[in-house]
């Protein structure tokens, strides 16, 4: 396959819905004795997501996945770079319309729902803000439709989040995201707080909704099996950097970056006795503090292939095969 076959003049359905260019999110951190350090949670990340596509993002805890998702939606204001939605930069603009087009489903369905709001008011909140109904009857009808769409019994309408299980709460969170009829949803580990038995139901529902509601997803997960299943392409993050990006099949069959190899060798075996929290991947070697990253390649302190050059300069993401990108000096 020639590279240029993938390039210009993409048909409408192939066009990028979302483009992230050199995105950065830095947090100033005060350490002891009045010193300040910059924590580069997301550093120079670039990719595009096509309409209808699911791009998975994986990496260990603290590598910047949530910050990436939040910076794209400007829930955290990016420090640098650009985010384009339908070809237009959304930075330095009023988010009004984009708040409808771009939504998020949060990792923790316990913390992300207001305990004082009923199911109806949780789902209806964004519709209220954006005035998406003509009268109360229409509001109720729309909320009930959304509840049906995500498999929630209509009797739950006036009930409160604490009455529900994690899976049902996540359905409420998904209905809330869908309420404004978005095109793009950041799914930030939407099932990792749920029982393994419930995870598949929610994943299947998200897949069905993608078809029926014509959605594009950025799907963040630590469970590689889940990402593989749901994603068309997968990006691997390490210490704020995107270190590999390719199709889901290619990543699992021909991982190129030493970190991806390490992640894949650590796929957790499905064990119904393990709680979701225990399922997190545990890898050899400590992740360096993002406040004090190593010189050169961020992965060099744990990399079995590291050489002198890896200390000296940061490897840039390069295309190593058509559509397959990796950031490593030794590939
Ligand atoms: N508001 C903030 N202020 C300071 N540092 C932050 C803030 N938010 C995130 N960080 C730091 O940025 C880095 C990336 O965090 P982030 O939550 O994006 O990682 P993650 O990949 O989503 O991790 P997890 O898998 O645990 O959810 C971490 O070192 C984190 O401590
Ligand atoms: S650049 Fe060097 S340290 Fe970094 S992943 Fe490649 S071989 Fe390992
Ligand atoms: Mg996170």
Q: Does ligand 2 lie within 6 Å of residue 315's CB atom?
A: yes
Q: Is the CB of 330 under 6 A from ligand 2?
A: yes
Closest CA to 326 of 312, 308, 305: 305
**Nearest protein Cα to ligand 1, atom 31:** 62
For residue 266, the model assigns a pLDDT of 77
Residue-level pLDDT at 165: 93
- The ligand 1 atom at the shortest distance from the C-alpha of residue 64 is 18
Whole-angstrom distance, CA of residue 158 vs CA of residue 175? 15
Q: Which atom of ligand 2 is nearest to the CA of 297?
A: 4
> Cα–Cα distances in Å, from 25 out to 69, 176, 245?
11, 27, 20
Q: Choose among 304, 196, 325: nearest CA to 251.
A: 325
Q: Residue by residue, what is the 3-state secondary structure of 103-149?
A: EEECCCCCCCCCCCCCHHHHHHHHHHHCCCCCCHHHHHHHHHHHHHH
Please name which of 157, 97, 74, 167 lies closest in space to residue 123, comparing C-alpha atoms.
157
pLDDT at 223: 79
- Is the distance from the beta carbon of residue 305 to the nearest atom of ligand 2 less than 6 Å? yes
> What is the pLDDT, as a whole number, of residue 299?
97
Distance from the CA of 64 to the center of ligand 1, in angstroms? 5
Q: What is the pLDDT of residue 268?
A: 58
Exposure b/e, 297-308, CB count within 10 A at least 16 = b? bbbbebbeebee
What own/partner pairs with CB < 8 Å and gap ≥ 24 does 281-286 have?
Answer: 281/60, 281/222, 281/224, 283/60
Tokens of 140: 């109720």
Contact 257/222 with Cβ under 8 angstroms? no
Return the residue whose CA atom lies nearest to atom 30 of ligand 1. Answer: 62
Q: Whose CA is nearest to atom 11 of ligand 1?
A: 41
Whole-number pLDDT of residue 275? 46
15-315 to CATH, choices 1.10.287.810, 3.40.50.300, 3.40.50.720, 3.30.460.80 = 3.40.50.300
| Among the bound ligands, the one closest to the CA of 239 | 1
pTM for the full model? 0.92
**Element (DSSP H or E) covering residue 162:** none
The candidate with the shortest Cα–Cα distance to 123, out of 153, 103, 144, is 144
Q: Which of 59, 307, 317 to mutate to test the pocket of ligand 2 (most atoms within 8 A of CB)?
A: 307
Q: Would strands 233-238 and 241-247 be described as parallel, antiparallel, or unpaired?
A: antiparallel
Q: What is the pLDDT along the chain (331 residues), one digit of tens a residue?
A: 334 444 445 555 578 999 999 999 999 999 888 889 999 999 999 999 999 999 999 999 999 999 999 999 999 999 999 999 999 999 988 888 899 999 999 988 888 999 999 999 999 999 999 999 999 999 999 999 999 999 999 999 999 999 999 999 999 999 999 999 999 999 999 998 888 889 999 999 999 999 999 999 999 998 788 899 999 999 999 999 999 999 999 999 999 999 999 998 875 555 445 444 444 555 667 889 999 999 999 999 999 999 999 999 999 999 999 999 999 999 9
Our CA angle for 13, 18, 20, nearest 5°, is 140
Longest distance between any two alpha carbons in the chain, whole Å: 68
CA pair distance 100, 72, nearest whole angstrom: 14
- Quick one: which ligand is closest to 40's CA? 1
- Tokens coding 83: 């985010």
76 Cα to the center of ligand 1, angstroms? 11
Edge-first strand order for the sheet with 16-30 is 36-50, 16-30, 80-85, 88-89
Q: Is 238 in the pocket of ligand 2 (CB under 6 A)?
A: no
pLDDT of residue 222: 83
- Residue spans of the domains in the chain: they are 15-315
Ligand showing the shortest atom-to-Cα distance for residue 288: 1
> Is the separation of the CB atoms in 224 and 230 below 8 Å?
no
Ligand 1 pocket (Cβ < 6 Å) reads 27, 39, 41, 59, 61-67, 222, 290
What angle, rounded to 10 degrees, do the helices at 119-129 and 136-149 form? 120
Cβ atoms 120, 173 nearer than 8 A: no
Residue where the block lists tokens 């095969």: 321
**DSSP assigned state of 246:** E
Q: If DSSP codes are grouped into helix, strand and coil, which group holds residue 321?
A: strand
Exposure on the CB side of residue 297, measured as CA atoms within 13 A: 25
Q: Which atom of ligand 2 is the closest one to the Cα of 315?
A: 1
Ligand with smallest separation from the Cα of 295: 2
């Amino acid at each position: 396959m020639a590279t240029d076959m993938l390039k210009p003049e993409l048909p409408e359905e192939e066009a990028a819905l979302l483009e992230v260019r050199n995105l950065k999110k830095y947090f100033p951190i005060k350490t002891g004795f009045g010193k300040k350090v910059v924590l580069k949670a997301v550093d120079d990340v670039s990719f595009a997501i096509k309409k209808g596509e699911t791009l998975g993002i994986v990496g260990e805890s603290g590598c910047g996945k949530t910050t990436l998702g939040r910076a794209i939606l400007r829930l955290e204001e990016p420090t640098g770079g650009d985010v384009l939605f339908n070809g237009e930069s959304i930075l330095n603009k009023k988010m009004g319309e984009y708040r409808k087009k771009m939504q998020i489903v949060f990792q923790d369905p316990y913390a992300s729902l207001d305990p004082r709001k009923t199911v109806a008011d949780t789902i209806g909140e964004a519709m209220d803000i954006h005035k998406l109904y003509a009268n109360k009857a229409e509001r109720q009808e729309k909320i009930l439709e959304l509840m049906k769409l995500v498999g929630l019994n209509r009797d739950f309408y006036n009930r409160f989040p604490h009455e529900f299980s994690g899976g049902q709460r996540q359905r409420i969170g998904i209905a809330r995201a869908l309420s404004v009829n978005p095109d793009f949803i950041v799914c930030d580990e939407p099932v990792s707080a749920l029982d393994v038995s419930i995870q598949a139901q929610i994943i299947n529902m998200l897949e069905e909704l993608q078809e029926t509601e014509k959605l594009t997803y950025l799907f963040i997960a630590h469970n590689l099996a889940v990402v593989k299943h749901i994603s068309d392409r997968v990006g691997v993050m390490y210490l704020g950097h995107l270190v590999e990006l390719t199709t889901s099949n290619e990543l699992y069959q021909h991982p190129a970056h030493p970190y991806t190899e390490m992640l894949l060798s650590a796929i957790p075996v499905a064990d119904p006795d393990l709680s979701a929290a225990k399922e997190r991947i545990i890898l050899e070697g400590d992740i360096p503090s993002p406040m004090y990253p190593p010189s050169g390649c961020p992965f060099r302190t744990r990399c079995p292939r590291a050489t002198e050059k890896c200390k000296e300069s940061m490897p840039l993401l390069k295309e190593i095969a058509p559509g397959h990108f990796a950031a490593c000096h030794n590939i």
